[in-house]
Amino acid sequence: MSEPSDPVSPATSHHSAPVPLPSTPVSFPSRAPRVHHLPVLKADLKKVAASRGNVHARKVAILIRWENDTTGAEEDIITIGKVMETFDLQYTDHILKAKDPTPGWNLSAKIRKMILDCYHSKLHSVFVFYYVGHGAIVDGNLYFIQDGKRVSWSDIRADFFSEDDAVRHVDILGVIDCCYSGAATRAQASRAIQVMAACGPNEGTSPRGQKASLTMRLFGAVQRFKGQSSVFTAALFQEIQRQKPRTAPSAVFETLSGTQPIRLVFNDHAPSSRIPRPSSHVNEKHVLVKLTLHGHSQIPGHSEVLESFKNAIQDLPPSMKVEISDAYETDQSIFLIIGMSWEAWSLWTMVAHLDFVGVTLGPSLMSRRLVEVPVPVSDENRHPSHGKGKVE
């Protein structure tokens, strides 16, 4: 595995029909922002806030690694297996064989059979796909690789997006712990499809030996929530990000389909642990994003967009609360700089396009007062001193 680089912006899903602004002949920004109409965004956020999450009667998983792997994947499989058992997920180990001429084909066949079994059970199901090992980007696509062999993530993901009725009734959670795994999130249904990746599409992961890998942080996050009856994947993702060492890349989380959060139910509800709370030095609102809203003060009926937005988010649950840091007006829109928790970010991006600004470690370092920069005054525009003006 390669050394981690600086975090890149996580990708987002956008299901509330953001519309691009009309193109203008300017060089910056190179792409028009995605603009949300406030009434639509408000309705979509309410759907997420009101949702209690899908509850699953059938829960299955497939845990995948290569034969003769050199990344410590065998130990990670054991670790993630304990996570599966915690949520009563029936899991199957699948080892990609070095001598298999068609490892991707055989893996897809196994996945399709497991999903078909869920369909025949007529039970609301969740399917967890987990891969750990080496990853590489080839021709812009993510591949799982080992000793010259490779399996395409795009081909596997196509099975999840199939129009077959068997797939339409199964929620899917992908957990991918390999280099460049953020590429797995590139790309409206009642079911949910979510992917959690170890790093961005241009990064390497943290080795297991550093105790900072996605698998190990996911295991730790699950332990922190034990004692509850269930936990949302968005809350697990927040805990994964809290555990991230400064040198490790940020994990990536994306909802590819659906507005119902995925909720995992613990198999033992004994209150043996407390609900995790951030340490005193952790700032809860530590993700900074930009949200663009359609509207302008000069357009009739749009002058109150900012106040309307504030009212629209007042009744959101604590897990979706945000803090508006700043707001600006452009020719045709208003954009807001918003701070939020990782959990809120995960839930908002189910229905909203948020341009990722960065991860902050605390409040703004700048004073809220405007800092004035002195402008040099030349002789010709210098005000004349009293009594020394030009005499006609």
**Looking at 86-100, 251-265, 309-323, which range is the least confident one?**
251-265
Assigned domain for 27 exists: yes
- pLDDT above 90 for 93: yes
Q: How far is CA 152 from CA 37, 322, 384, in A?
A: 37, 38, 75
In a domain, 89, yes or no: yes
Where does a domain end: 227, 258, 289? 258
User: In this structure, which amino acid lies at residue 266?
Assistant: F
User: Do 238 and 297 reside in the same domain of the chain?
Assistant: no
CB 134 within 8 A of CB 204: no
pLDDT value at residue 167: 72
Q: Tell whether 351 is covered by a domain.
A: yes
Bridge partners for 61 per DSSP? 91, 128
Secondary-structure breakdown of the chain: helix, strand, coil percentages, each rounded to the nearest 5:
30, 25, 45
Same domain, 166 and 286: no
42 with 67, same domain? no
* pLDDT number for residue 144: 95
Q: Answer whether residue 267 is part of any domain.
A: no
Q: Are 299 and 326 in a shared domain?
A: yes
What's the pLDDT tens digit per position in 156-175? Answer: 888 887 767 767 778 999 99
For residue 382, being part of any structural domain is answered with no
In the chain, alpha helices (H): 38-50, 73-86, 103-121, 153-160, 165-168, 214-225, 233-242, 305-312, 342-348
pLDDT of 332 reads 78
Domain identity same for 84 and 179: yes
pLDDT bracket for residue 300 (50, 70, 90): low
Rg (C-alpha) for the chain, rounded Å, is: 25
Residue 169 sits in a domain whose CATH number is: 3.40.50.1460
Residue 364 included in any domain: no
Average pLDDT over residues 63-69: 94
Expressed as residue numbers, the domain containing 247 is 58-258
Residue 371 has pLDDT above 80, yes or no: no
Which single residue is written with the structure tokens 């959060």?
A: 261
Count: domains in the chain = 2
Say yes or no: 138 and 228 in one domain. yes
- Regarding whether 225 and 132 lie in a shared domain, the answer is yes
Inside any domain, residue 9: no
pTM, rounded to two decimals:
0.75
Helices 38-50 and 305-312: crossing angle in degrees, nearest 10, is: 10
- Categorize the per-residue pLDDT at 363 as very low, low, confident or very high, splitting at 50, 70 and 90: confident
The residue length of the chain stands at: 392
Residue among 269, 254, 258, 230 at smallest CA distance from 55: 230
